[in-house]
A and B are shown apart, each in its own frame.
Chain A
Amino acid sequence: AQSVAQPEDQVNVAEGNPLTVKCTYSVSGNPYLFWYVQYPNRGLQFLLKYITGDNLVKGSYGFEAEFNKSQTSFHLKKPSALVSDSALYFCAVRASTRSGGYNKLIFGAGTRLAVHP
């Protein structure tokens, strides 16, 4: 079965420090991986995706993610955290369904990032 795990419920980091939000996945076949961010009372915003190619993917707002096939991980990173980065972050994998295709996203449980001044 295809799944995503985000092992940390919350990550705390000081403003200006680098941040990492962890994600591991389990898929049959090629992984198609996504990161989304959810601010309070808002929908999910797409940050970045890995489909193929370079293992380091750059996305919105200075975020990047590193794909590691051997460790089945797709960790989200940012070199210097901002207080405004505080939000709920979701890792997701595009999964196939019985009807064929890649119709749904399977989400991790989410990691709350708290950036302190």
Chain B
Amino acid sequence: DSGVTQTPKHLITATGQRVTLRCSPRSGDLSVYWYQQSLDQGLQFLIQYYNGEERAKGNILERFSAQQFPDLHSELNLSSLELGDSALYFCASSMGTGTTPGNEQFFGPGTRLTVL
């Protein structure tokens, strides 16, 4: 158990809908990262937050957004969902701001999103 929790485990919804994925980092970790794992794209970095502020953006679509709250949990919001958004979404956390390359990231169990 990594100490990173994600809810829900599974989410099934329809095209055009909006969903929210939730993540709680390990105790003491201030950085939260979101990744998408799909069959065609593999594991891709979406976005990072540190202590409530956005720190880095990856291949995140404009229809997707995220935020990190004062209690350090994070939410990833996916809107206007398309079939191609079906994937496993992982949250990870780490110590520090992301400027220390040696800090490993600890991953949650993921949320499997199915868009029908």
- Residue with the highest number of chain A CB atoms closer than 10 Å, among B2, B57, B101: B101
> Which chain B residues (90-116) contact chain A, with CB distance < 8 Å?
90, 92, 97-102, 104-110
Cα(A25)–Cα(B33), bound, Å: 22
Nearest-neighbour CB distance to chain A for B88, whole angstroms, equals 9
Q: Which residues of A contact B97 (CB under 8 A)?
A: 101
Of residues 73 to 100 in A, which have CB atoms within 8 Å of B's CB atoms? Answer: 90, 94, 97-100
Contacts of A94 in B (CB 8 A): 101-102
How many chain B residues have a CB neighbour from A under 8 Å? 29
Which one, B4, B45, B107, B109, contacts A36 given CB within 8 A?
A: B107
B positions within 8 Å CB-CB of A = 2, 4, 6, 33, 35, 42-45, 48, 55-58, 90, 92, 97-102, 104-110
A residues apposed to B, CB below 8 Å: 30, 32, 34, 36, 41-46, 49, 51, 90, 94, 97-110
